[in-house]
Amino acid sequence: MIDIYYLEDDRRIAQAVKEFLAQGGCHVCVFSTFDEIKEAMNVMRPALVLVDWHMPNGIGNMLCRWIHANCKGIPVLFVAARSSSQSGRSNTDNYIVKTFELDVLLRRIRALIQRAGGAGKQYLYCDVISLDRHQRQVRCGAEEVRLSSSEYQLLLHLMQNKGRTVTRENLLASIWDADGNDVNNNTLSVTVKRLREKLHQPECLKTIRSVGYRMEDSE
């Protein structure tokens, strides 16, 4: 799970965002005060911080400055009402209005994490599929998916090359031949079939006929 801290004083909005992001493999901790979230970050640092720009007394901007001074590398995403002024946001990493669609918010979060340093190298995404390289954990939405070693290596290789077609020859050489195993095309076909079944036939895993496979976000 991707750990996200969320500074928000509107409980209704906070709960809706928390429940939706949980379906995308995110564990969201909600805080309503600067002191609460600062204390939590001194204990454990999240992959990303969501901040309500309209927290009273400039708390949102105060937190952003504190993060940049004390927790370098953690991306911050501000949310604000559509009519708000954009002045004073020089310390923010990103900004999105509160009329956002929740799936847009999830995509923005994933993009920011992948742009970040260590956390960006840890997580890979494609549609609802997320892969945690440090924990060797795969999720399809909120569901944790158990994969065999070859299934995991196949998915990792495809997600590392998201947006590019990977040939069958490349996959066979990278995943199996590197271990000195004698395999053939049927081995790859069976592994892809099992991987698709475990991931509930994802649209983002595409077969490029007579060439190989490709992972890309669906429209």
> pLDDT tens-digit profile of 196-212?
999 999 999 999 999 99
In sequence order, what are the residues at sequence separation of 6 or more whose Cβ sits closer than 8 angstroms to the Cβ of residue 190?
Answer: none
Helix spans in the chain (H): 11-23, 34-43, 59-70, 102-115, 118-122, 149-160, 168-171, 185-198
Q: What is the pLDDT of residue 147?
A: 95
User: What is the β-pairing status of strands 48-52 and 2-7?
Assistant: parallel
> pLDDT tens-digit profile of 137-191?
898 887 889 999 999 999 999 998 888 999 999 998 888 765 545 567 788 999 9
Domains of the chain (ranges; CATH) run 2-123 (3.40.50.2300), 146-215 (1.10.10.10)
Nearest CA among 21, 29, 47 for reference residue 107: 21
Q: What is the pLDDT of residue 86?
A: 45
> pLDDT tens-digit profile of 67-114?
888 887 888 998 875 444 444 444 445 555 555 677 888 888 888 887
The span from the CA of 24 to the CA of 20, in Å, is: 7
Nearest CA among 87, 10, 88 for reference residue 50: 10
> pLDDT tens-digit profile of 105-151?
888 888 888 777 544 467 888 888 988 888 888 988 878 899 999 99
